[in-house]
Amino acid sequence: MARSTAQRVATTLRERIEGGSLPPGTQLSEEALGRELGVSRNTLREAFRLLVHESLVVHLLNRGVFVRVLEPADVTDIYRVREALETAGVRAVATAPAARREALAEAVAQAERAAEAGNWLEVGSADLRFHRALAALAGSERIDAAMDRLLAELRLAFHEMPSPRHFHEPFVARNRALAQLLADGEHTRAEAELTTYLEDARRLILDTMREADR
């Protein structure tokens, strides 16, 4: 029971981190959160351990627990692994079930609708769903789990972007183009576009991080 309670608390905190209400660098107070969520310190500490394992928070000795702040090397590593996992999806698209291919198209449409409404945070969420669906074409539970963890980490970088529109807008059309290449059976071109796409996104994040450090 205690373990399941800790998992529920971890889910609550994960959603707040991913949603931006607990941005990178925020200290997680045991006293305040325990009182708000109505759980013991032991339960909260177990929830923190789960989030540390997911690389969403860090425990700093004699200081406490903080929402993780990504370093440039972290971003590069995330994108390196993403390329491997998403490329596996691209290579499997021809044999992927129709429902998985439809999930890809729906994520593109969701991003386009959100962009038209000017909801750039939702555009970012739809973009992550697109890439999750892309990797899911491989039909591997291990790949799915790895992508879930990577994309949760990546939201930490998204929250550092001063302008969600500036960051997400260029990729709305690129998602549509990539999905079309896959639909047309242009798998080699799609893989090449994906590689360029991910490198462009990585560089945009790193350039923004460097600008913020000046």
> What pLDDT digit, counting tens, does each position of 158-177 carry?
888 888 899 999 999 999 99
Q: Is the pLDDT of residue 2 over 80?
A: no
Q: Is the pLDDT of residue 3 over 80?
A: no
Mean pLDDT of the chain: 93
* 57 lies in the same domain as 93: no
Residue type, 167: F
Count the domains in the chain.
2
Q: Is 96 left (phi over 0), alpha (psi -120 to 50) or beta?
A: beta
* 61 lies in the same domain as 77: no
Average pLDDT of span 138-156: 94
* 93 lies in the same domain as 177: yes
* 103 lies in the same domain as 60: no
Tell me the pLDDT band of 214, cut-offs 50, 70 and 90. Answer: low
Average pLDDT of span 182-199: 96
* 105 lies in the same domain as 78: yes
Last residue of a domain, one of 32, 67, 102: 67
Which CATH number belongs to the domain containing residue 138 in this structure? 1.20.120.530
pLDDT tens-digit map of 72-129: 999 999 999 999 999 999 999 999 999 999 999 999 999 999 999 999 989 999 999 9
Q: Is the pLDDT of residue 142 over 60?
A: yes
* 107 lies in the same domain as 61: no
Tell me the pLDDT band of 62, cut-offs 50, 70 and 90. Answer: confident
* 142 lies in the same domain as 112: yes
Question: For residue 145, what are the contacts with CB-CB under 8 A and spacing of at least 6?
Answer: none
CA distance 102 to 94: 13
Last residue of a domain, one of 33, 67, 101: 67
Q: Is the pLDDT of residue 64 over 70?
A: yes
Tell me the pLDDT band of 211, cut-offs 50, 70 and 90. Answer: confident
* 90 lies in the same domain as 52: no
* 21 lies in the same domain as 106: no
* 112 lies in the same domain as 88: yes
Please report the pLDDT score of residue 159 as a whole number: 83
Please report the pLDDT score of residue 160 as a whole number: 81
* 11 lies in the same domain as 89: no
pTM (2 d.p.): 0.87
**93 is in which domain, residue-wise?**
72-213
Last residue of a domain, one of 37, 67, 97: 67
* 84 lies in the same domain as 165: yes
Which CATH number belongs to the domain containing residue 47 in this structure? 1.10.10.10
